Amino acid sequence: EAGVGGFFTKTKSEINLFFNLVCDPADVISTVEFNQTGEFLATGDKGGRVVIFQREPQGEYNVYSTFQSHEPEFDYLKSFEIEEKINKIRWLPPHNPAHFLLSTNDKTVKLWKVSEKDKRAEGYNLRDEEGRLKDLSTITTLQVPVLRPMDLLVEASPRRVFANAHAYHINSISVNSDCETYLSADDLRINLWHLNITDRSFNIVDLKPENMEDLSEVITVAEFHPHHCHLLAFSSSTGTTRLCDMRARALCDQHAKLFEEAVDPSRQSFFSEIVSSVSDVKFSHSGRYLLTRDYLTVKVWDLNMENKPMETYQVHDYLRTKLCSLYESDCIFDKFECAWNGTDSVIMTGAYNNYFRMFDRASLRDVTLEASREVCKRRAVLQPRRVCVGKKRKETDVSVDSLDFRKKILHTAWHPKENIIAIAASNNLYIFQDRLTPNGHHNTPEIQSAM
Amino acid sequence: MAGAEGDDSLYPIAVLIDELRNEDVQLRLNSIKKLSTIALALEVERTRTELLPFLTDTIYDEDEVLLALAEQLGSFTVLVGGPEFVHCLLPPLESLATVEETVVRDKAVESLRKISQEHSPVDLEVHFVPLVKRLASGDWFTSRTSACGLFSVCYPHVSSTVKAEIRQHFRTLCSDDTPMVRRAASSKLGEFAKVLELDYVKSDIIPLFTALASDEQDSVRLLAVESGVSIATLLPQEDLEDLVMPTLRQAAEDKSWRVRYMVADKFSELQKAVGPEITKNDLVPAFQNLLKDCEAEVRTAAANKVKVFCESLPEDSRETIIMTHILPCVKELVSDTNQHVKSALASVIMGLSTILGKDNTVEHLLPLFLVQLKDEYPEVRLNIISNLDCVNEVIGIRQLSQSLLPAIVELAEDAKWRVRLAIIEYMPLLAGQLGVEFFDEKLNSLCMAWLIDHVYAIREAATCNLMKLVEKFGAEWAQNTIVPKVLGMANDSNYLHRMTTLFCINALSEVCGQEITTKHMLPVVLKMSTDQVANVRFNVARCLQKIGPVLDSSALQAEVKPVLEKLATDQDMDVKYFALDAISGILAGQNNLPIMMLL
């Protein structure tokens, strides 16, 4: 049975708990990303740490390495603090047995190498293994050190630091399919870097007006096409997404395509522009489609059709009447991410109350699931949730008015090949996976959750 | 005891070996750099059996250490026992050729290429080729990219069966899944083609070239351009049209500006490779298109090539082609919207005058030079000025200078001091070209004005400029024109200007000679020894020391000595210091005179 309807509902689930009982704000997860094979999963948090999980042969993800990627800094020239929060993590395609990833905070992108070491050199000429000096008269021959096996040691080392190129906050990084360049985007500019060169980058998009009072839009997210090294998409706070062709000219200020849906004037309101701001853009794995998330919907665009999306899915349409209070609480500016599954047939995105949504593109069925410690017991079944506007029809229904807007799922990731998803809810990471049943059907998700 | 003696000599080596594992990167690096010393002490047998295996597994180190190691191993053959054992170096270099850091991999490949030459044909097939194959079929792209650079060094020396295998491996890498490997293959294609038999160039390399040049990634296509040029040099003229030209033509019109940029950048090499006929028929229109390209980067690259391209056109039709096809494009570029394009053009456009001759230069080129000389960007103007000499040869300086001068004057007064500085540096050259009369009339006052510039670097350059002018125009000219003006500044109310007088005298005394120095300059310097500003006074002392060798000994005795003695008792420490310094300096210059004569 295909589709999300059957996918996450009538199943037994499994959960693996790594909860941190004391909630430190620095532990709040700020980004989640699988590597190209799905064997590794990286999270970044507000405290500047990166945690890498590795999938065990049995299928569970366990902590592989933890390191401090960014530290808080102070910009003395401009007199402001630079937070250590990790805004984005992107894995590089595999080079060699080590793993490489880019992590960024507001200002600085770093390239990290995570490698394994299982051998150690032994044998000194002048000292014994405890470090005591030997009696020189006992040395009659030279000794070359030899390598001996040791316990596996996973090391993370910073390989490059790409700094001083952004005047505004970096919101995205994306590795090009040519595997030698990547982009970093801030509110107004997109820079192109060579992975081996840290002292210069090329500015390829610049939206900064001569006079900052004329500023009408900011870049919210940017991403490279998965296969074509010359294509990149970036979206803005005005609800548009632009596709740029780097072949056409060195500066990409002029876009090749502009994806924008005409707004029905009768539905215009004070909040129209705010809710239309695009908070995430993802190319499909095939490279044919673009997925965009705005405050209330996710949309699928065909690269060949600019004037309207192919599909629009309502994430939480019931909030349309609550925009005023969401504006007052600043929730309306929350930046929800979105994700494709490995075959581009299902879409996932987060919502409030620790809910996340999935949409099956073929059957048009959708489901709301909850990632919370109360429901995610190991091997538990994930029950679909329903939010109702008026009266509750079922006991399990939740009224709009009782939604908790402080519990939001902003960051989600989908395994590149399998039905495994990672959901970050505050300081908790939930990994749900679809477990093979004895007859080989993919219909049993295992739920694993980690801190 | 012999053993005890041995200990002492072992000690420094023992330290070096231990420091291979030191926690301090710098110490490890130092140790690696002395690897040959270690190997020498261990002797060939232990180097092969102990040191090299250890090094093979130490690829966890910092890049700089690995880089040094990769380099060292390239010249290690003697230390492992000569060519007979050179293959022992392959394992450590193989592991270095797979690390993620490009510079280290490249260095490892370079060393592998180097030691491949020291392999016997048998060892190549038994040891080296298997390594290349392992790298070429490695799991990671890092090893496959390294393999691309190794095919060409072993191919010429192996049997035809192995040759066939090598060609097959190269083919496989050209269609690798990862763009990095295809890029490496694309950039090594030309080099590999050079060692292949011509038949295989046609049957193997051409299809690979065509495929890489139409790769879906422009980062691969752009590297194929250079390889295409190398391949073209290998093919007989009659095959070019069918085998490479369609692909190269396509590259010149590629959708991606980066590919077109590469074509523009390699245009001279391409022109040389394809010969005059294809140049006339194909390259001229292609070059016109590149000069008119919509991307400024491409136009810049093409503009840079204008002169070389025109020079290398076949002589019989050169002038016609330039006048009817190239010059119209150049005219447009002169008023391009992009400053880099104009700047690139300005650096080569003057070269066209020697190719086109006087009449064409005056009629067609001079107006373009003038437009560029008045360009809003100083770099463009500067590039024109720095290439004046070639136009001078063609049309003569008089005509040139009349049109030029206003622009030069304007640059000389530019608000940016670096622009002024650059102009000053061209002054002696211009002076030589314009002649003394013209110079006095138009430029002399500029040169004097720079002496009182508010930027020290300009004043300093102006001083040096005066010296070079005197070298050109002679002492008499100096006495009549610049010396009075320089000496006049000694009475300036600004002490910086008074010091400039001293600096000028420092620079000029030698070129002006003893007479002018003694008669005109010395009195002024001596008078300044009573200046109220200490900086001026100690510069007097330094100046006297500087001009001392030019003066005769009677002047030194009668005039310089008393003044320096007085300065040596000055209240100011620095003045005292420099005065004493000058006294001993002059003494040293007079070498044989007893010190008492001066003191």
Condensed to tens digits (0 to 9), the pLDDT of residues A338-356 reads 999 999 999 999 999 999 9
Q: How far apart (Å, rounded) are the C-alpha atoms in residues B490 and B162?
A: 84
Contact B263, B225 (CB under 8 A): yes
Size of interface A-B (CB pairs under 8 A): 116
Q: Which residues of B touch A100 (CB under 8 A)?
A: 100
Q: How confident is the model at residue B167 (pLDDT cuts 50, 70, 90)?
A: very high
Mean pLDDT of A406-430: 92
CB contact under 8 A, B100 and A95: yes
pLDDT in tens, B323-379: 999 999 999 999 999 999 999 999 999 899 889 988 898 889 988 988 888 788 878
The whole-number pLDDT of residue A285 equals: 96
The whole-number pLDDT of residue A21 equals: 40
CB contact under 8 A, B18 and A139: no
A112: closest chain B residue by CA: B100
The whole-number pLDDT of residue B589 equals: 63
Mean pLDDT (chain A, rounded): 86
| CA–CA distances in Å: residue A335 to residues A237, A294, A323, A386, B245 | 11, 8, 15, 23, 52
Q: Which residues of A touch B143 (CB under 8 A)?
A: 96
The whole-number pLDDT of residue B7 equals: 55
Task: Select from A91, A144, A160 the residue whose CB has the most chain B CBs within 10 Å, as the one to mutate to test that interface.
Answer: A144
Contact A188, A207 (CB under 8 A): yes
CB contact under 8 A, B51 and A121: no
Domain ranges of chain A: 8-116+161-434
CB contact under 8 A, B258 and A247: yes
Closest CA to A325 of A297, A352, A349: A352
Beta sheet of A355-360, edge-to-edge order: A338-340, A346-350, A355-360, A366-370
The whole-number pLDDT of residue A443 equals: 38
Q: For the CA atoms of A309, A312, A317, A321, what is the dihedral angle to 10 degrees?
A: 20
pLDDT in tens, A279-329: 999 999 999 999 999 999 999 999 999 999 999 999 999 999 999 999 999
B53: closest chain A residue by CA: A146
Structure token digits, residue A133 = 């000096």
Query: Angle at Cα A352 formed by Cα A351 and Cα A358, nearest 5°?
Result: 30
Residue A240 pLDDT > 60:
yes
CB-closest option in A94, A126, A179 to B15: A126
Mean pLDDT of B135-160: 95
Q: How confident is the model at residue A203 (pLDDT cuts 50, 70, 90)?
A: very high
Chain A nearest-CA distance from B17, in A, is 7
Task: Select from B23, B40, B52, B60 the residue whose CB has the most chain A CBs within 10 Å, as the one to mutate to test that interface.
Answer: B60
Q: For the CA atoms of B167, B169, B170, B176, what is the dihedral angle to 10 degrees?
A: 150
Chain A nearest-CA distance from B296, in A, is 8
The whole-number pLDDT of residue A442 equals: 37
CB-closest option in A98, A139, A250 to B14: A139
Q: How far apart (Å, rounded) are the C-alpha atoms in residues B244 and B212?
A: 12
Closest CA to A27 of A55, A49, A5: A49
Query: Which single residue is written with the structure tokens 């960014």?
Result: A70
Chain A nearest-CA distance from B8, in A, is 9
What phi and psi values does residue B398 have, to the nearest 5 degrees?
A: -60, -50
Q: Which residues of B touch A139 (CB under 8 A)?
A: 7, 10-11, 14
Q: How far apart (Å, rounded) are the C-alpha atoms in residues A130 and B15?
A: 17
| CATH code, A8-116+161-434 | 2.130.10.10
Q: Which CATH number fits domain B474-591: 1.25.10.10, 1.10.1060.10, 1.10.530.10, 3.10.110.10?
A: 1.25.10.10
pTM for the whole thing?
Answer: 0.80
Residue B595 pLDDT > 50:
no
Q: Chain A residues contacting B, CB < 8 Å?
A: 93-98, 100, 113, 115, 117, 119, 121, 124-127, 136-137, 139-147, 159, 177-180, 196, 227-230, 246-250
End-to-end alpha carbon distance in chain B: 66
Query: Which single residue is written with the structure tokens 């023992």?
Result: B14
pLDDT in tens, B57-101: 876 778 899 999 999 999 999 999 999 999 999 999 999 999 989
The whole-number pLDDT of residue A423 equals: 92
Q: Tell me which of A52 and B416 has the higher pLDDT.
A: A52
Share of chain A above pLDDT 90, in %: 62
The whole-number pLDDT of residue A286 equals: 96
| CA–CA distances in Å: residue A203 to residues A88, A189, A193, A208, A248 | 20, 7, 9, 12, 15
Q: Which residues of B touch A126 (CB under 8 A)?
A: 14-15, 18
DSSP-derived 3-state class of residue B291:
helix
The whole-number pLDDT of residue B591 equals: 53
Write the DSSP symbol of residue A262: P
CB contact under 8 A, B257 and A230: no
Contact B582, B551 (CB under 8 A): no
Domain ranges of chain B: 474-591
pLDDT in tens, B111-132: 999 999 999 999 999 999 999 9
